[in-house]
Amino acid sequence: MTDVHVVGAGPAGSVFAREAAKRGLGVLVSEEHAQIGAPVQCAGLVSREGLDSLGIDYSSAVMNEIHGADIYVPSLSCMSVGNGRPRAFVVDRQRLDSLLGDSAASAGAEIEKGSRIGMRSLRGRLIVGADGASSSVAEWFRFPKIAQYVICMQAEFSGARIADPQRIAMFISNEHFPGLFGWAIPVGDGRLRVGIGVNAEKGKELCARFGRFLAENRIVSEMVSGAVEKGRISGIIPVSAR
């Protein structure tokens, strides 16, 4: 037994583990994957304030600075925001998560990777469930289930046509993206992350909606024309609990 057993070495789990270890507690972190931060299921756009709050030097994870956004309504009329200053960064999430895991270990937390924990293998007087939206810990302790969530899909392209590599594009439409929105995020070096999110009720239509977004949205189709798709990811985002 130890003082704290953290299940999951994502940002929440690693930051908690680091701060608990700094206060003299014995901390064990169990990460089910062999490498912290993998697989990546994130667009990687994080506000400057959010990154600053992590308490680490995150510069090696930064891939691009974002200075503003172009927000499109269904007619593709656009409202532009931003004052030319960096407001957010596109990050390598795997690298960022790894840095946070290293900070927890440096503070004295023990981190075990490739360790899938069952309820009977919990080893802490305090248990921290930092194991994501489909948390096993939450299920074991009968926490309220997620009542609403959105499902997202994203593709990354190389060789994209990007007018301003320091501005994101955001697309709002209750018809095409019920529950969330669409996005196009420049990563740097001509790479672009394009994605959409919809509420769970429309989850079965996600692939079809994403295909239409790439082919029929004039702004996006121009960006990815001639570009090479490097791969796709998907994931869920909790919206509210009961």
| CATH number (domain holding residue 206) | 3.30.9.10
236 and 179, same structural domain? yes
Cα 154 to Cα 193: distance, rounded to the nearest angstrom: 7
Cα 29 to Cα 107: distance, rounded to the nearest angstrom: 12
Domain boundary (114, 140, 166) is at 140
91-126: per-residue pLDDT in tens? 999 999 999 999 999 999 999 999 889 999 999 999
CA 185 from chain centre, in angstroms, equals 13
Place of tokens 């919990």: 122
Instruction: Write the CATH number for 101.
Output: 3.50.50.60
> What is each CA distance from 77 to 13, 141, 164, 204, 218, in whole angstroms?
41, 48, 18, 29, 12
232 and 120, same structural domain? no
**Amino acid 146: pLDDT:** 86
Tokens of 175: 């018809």
Domain boundary (115, 140, 165) is at 140
- The angle subtended at Cα 116 by Cα 145 and Cα 154, nearest 5°, is 65
Percentage, residues of the chain above pLDDT 70: 99
**Amino acid 115: pLDDT:** 87
67 in Cβ contact with 85 (< 8 Å): yes
200: containing domain = 146-241
Count of structural domains, the chain: 2
Cα 217 to Cα 201: distance, rounded to the nearest angstrom: 23
Considering the domain boundaries, does residue 67 fall inside one?
A: no
Of 10, 81, 89, nearest to 45 by C-alpha is 89
181 and 122, same structural domain? no
Is residue 242 pLDDT above 80, yes or no?
no
158 and 105, same structural domain? no
Is residue 203 pLDDT above 80, yes or no?
yes
Any alpha helices (H) in the chain, and if so which ranges?
Answer: 11-22, 48-52, 93-106, 136-140, 206-216, 218-224
